[in-house]
Amino acid sequence: MRICIVAEGCYPYVMGGVSSWIDSMIKSFPNIEFCLLTIITDREQSGKFLYTLPDNVTEVYEAYLNDYDWSKKRKYGRRTRLNKQEYRALRSVILNEQVDWDTLFDMFQNKKISIDDLLMGADFFNVVQECYNLKFPQIVFSDFLWTIRSIYLPLFLIMQTNLPKADFYHCVATGYAGLLGSMARYRYGCGLLVSEHGIYTREREEEIIKAFWVEGIYKNIWIDQFRKMSRLAYERSDKVTSLYEHAKELQMELGCPESRIIITPNGIDMERFADLPGKTDEETEWINIGAVLRVTPIKDVKTMIRAFSYAKEKVPNIKLWIMGPMDEDEVYANECFELVETLKITNVYFTGRVDVRQYLGKMDFTILTSISEGMPLTILESYAAKKPVIATDVGNCRGLIYGESDDYGMAGILTHIMNVSEIAEAIVKLAESSELRATMGEVGYKRVQKNYRIEQMKATYEEIYRELGEKYGCKWPEGLFRV
């Protein structure tokens, strides 16, 4: 059995979060051969892995959202024109009217098309002009034309990707990953499994609404682009997984048939968080707060820093440990460093990438102030270490803190996003009560032990993998995979 994992902007180039989940999944099935199809920005990132790939990963393929047009210098470049069926397919995707994806797949996979020439050619211009006249005559046409070109450049590049053969594709998102999986299903007749941690369309929508690089009606156009790709993945998939009930409801709202959705909560290896090193005698006078995250805007580290600053005025003996990579958005990371200096806050530590197990046992509680999440592994890891959590009410944080299928009680404090005073009050409340921390920590431990162990997640995915394997004619492999 050969499974192609398709991931966008994460494994094996970025540590933590979804990347950790993919690495864990591959290692959970050492009997299966995996290949990776990774979507990255451009060739500058090529091969810069932060993970050591497991032995059962045999190949890594890359797809680029921005790349050189390799067909430009070939003799067939500018001579390529679209036939009537291809023209109608191009029109269908730009006007978003019953998109003829199959013709588009054939066009970009089988014809030697220069994307530069297509975007600058008469066929594309005519379709964009028709779209403009029908839907957007109130805006400047030249701006509209160049925006549409920028939207379709990455889509067309992705559709020219060389697709590896596999028994089925496992896409760890919809969007561009789901597009590649759908195209592979069409081309090879293979199976398609889509797993969503956050709801891709909603996450892109939140990013675009907040973005400064796109304004006005163009925000809606970009959002519609991601919606149409997600609908495609939902329509072509055999199975779609979500992490919790509300995520399933969102998938259904976005066009996924309920019959295909399986709820598969995340799971962690509890043994990895047993017997963690604790505080030394010198450290016991301090209250340590841990934040395991990537220093990026979606984690809203600035709100965390401001809340910590206010809390420290009431509880001076607190320390904030921000643990995770700082190179994903260096501008934002520098803004966070500057904020600490401007507010003249002491005892804030940016550790960079670390083995969280060397720190988590020394923490009194952890904190997450994200503006978007799925089911954060960092919360499950905190619970495994018997540490309570402060988290914003995003993704499944509410369910993890209050419980969905147990009556154990609260394992932390839930706050609203970007609410500095509320988060500061939560920090003070936990910092001032060792009894509350201990009680909530025990609740979290029982909750993760009951519902979120990696053995449970593996059993669920083994059932899905077996079912898809049987459907597409491949036997379940016994023993370790060997090249």
For the chain, how are helix, strand and coil distributed in percent, rounded to 5?
Answer: 50, 15, 35
* Whether residue 290 sits in one domain with residue 185: no
Q: Is residue 73 part of a domain?
A: no
Q: Among 102, 127, 151, where does a domain finish?
A: 151
Q: Among 104, 129, 151, where does a domain finish?
A: 151
Among candidate residues 320, 434, 456, 424, the one with its CA nearest the CA of residue 387 = 434
Domain range holding 447? 270-452
* Whether residue 324 sits in one domain with residue 228: no
CA separation for the pair 483, 481 (Å, rounded): 7
Q: Is residue 335 part of a domain?
A: yes
Predicted pLDDT of residue 79:
55
* Whether residue 277 sits in one domain with residue 233: no
* Whether residue 397 sits in one domain with residue 438: yes
Number of domains in the chain: 3
Q: Is residue 464 part of a domain?
A: no
Instruction: Residue 412: count other Cβ atoms within 10 Å of its Cβ.
Output: 28
CA separation for the pair 121, 228 (Å, rounded): 24
Q: Are the C-beta atoms of residues 191 and 184 closer than 8 Å to each other?
A: no
Among candidate residues 315, 355, 279, the one with its CA nearest the CA of residue 15 = 355
CA separation for the pair 251, 158 (Å, rounded): 23
* Whether residue 305 sits in one domain with residue 211: no
Q: Is residue 74 part of a domain?
A: no
Tell me the CATH number at 289.
3.40.50.2000
Reduced to 3 states (helix: H, G, I; strand: E, B; else coil), residue 465 is helix
Predicted pLDDT of residue 76:
45
Q: Is residue 251 part of a domain?
A: yes
CA separation for the pair 183, 226 (Å, rounded): 16
Tokens of 138: 């109130």
pLDDT per residue, tens digit, the chain (483 aa), is 999 999 999 999 988 889 999 999 999 999 999 999 999 999 999 999 999 999 999 999 999 999 887 766 544 445 568 999 999 999 999 999 999 999 999 999 998 889 999 999 999 999 999 999 999 999 999 999 999 999 999 999 999 999 999 999 999 999 999 999 999 999 999 999 999 998 999 989 988 988 888 888 999 999 999 999 999 999 999 999 999 999 999 999 999 999 999 999 999 999 999 999 999 988 899 999 999 999 999 999 999 999 999 999 999 999 999 999 998 899 999 999 999 999 999 999 999 999 999 999 999 999 999 998 989 999 999 999 999 999 999 999 999 999 988 999 999 999 999 999 999 999 999 999 999 999 999 999 999 999 999 999 999 999 999 999 999 999 999 888 877
Q: Is residue 308 part of a domain?
A: yes
CA separation for the pair 249, 204 (Å, rounded): 18
* Whether residue 50 sits in one domain with residue 99: no
Distances (CA, A) of 167 to 173, 219, 233, 474, 476: 19, 38, 17, 7, 12
pLDDT digits (tens, 9 = 90+) for 165-216: 999 999 999 999 999 999 999 999 999 999 999 899 998 998 898 888 888 8
pLDDT digits (tens, 9 = 90+) for 74-122: 444 455 689 999 999 999 999 999 999 999 999 999 988 899 999 999 9
Q: Is residue 156 part of a domain?
A: no
CA separation for the pair 336, 447 (Å, rounded): 33
* Whether residue 426 sits in one domain with residue 319: yes
* Whether residue 322 sits in one domain with residue 286: yes
Reduced to 3 states (helix: H, G, I; strand: E, B; else coil), residue 148 is helix
* Whether residue 138 sits in one domain with residue 45: no
CA separation for the pair 332, 287 (Å, rounded): 27
Tokens of 5: 């994992």
Q: Are the C-beta atoms of residues 365 and 412 closer than 8 Å to each other?
A: yes
Q: Among 151, 181, 204, where does a domain finish?
A: 151
Q: Is residue 472 part of a domain?
A: no
Distances (CA, A) of 245 to 54, 264, 377, 404: 32, 10, 17, 10
Asked if omega into 277 is within 30° of 0 (cis), the reply is no
Q: Are the C-beta atoms of residues 414 and 401 closer than 8 Å to each other?
A: yes
Sheet holding 2-8, edge to edge: 57-64, 33-40, 2-8, 168-171, 191-195, 239-242, 261-263
Residue with tokens 């994307």: 115
* Whether residue 38 sits in one domain with residue 178: yes
Among candidate residues 251, 336, 342, 261, the one with its CA nearest the CA of residue 302 = 336
Query: Which amino acid makes up residue 96?
Result: N
CA separation for the pair 439, 430 (Å, rounded): 11
Residue 378 parent element (H or E): helix 377-384
* Whether residue 299 sits in one domain with residue 448: yes
Tokens of 272: 């990895």
* Whether residue 404 sits in one domain with residue 329: yes
Reduced to 3 states (helix: H, G, I; strand: E, B; else coil), residue 286 is coil
Q: How does DSSP classify residue 297? A: G
Predicted pLDDT of residue 77:
42
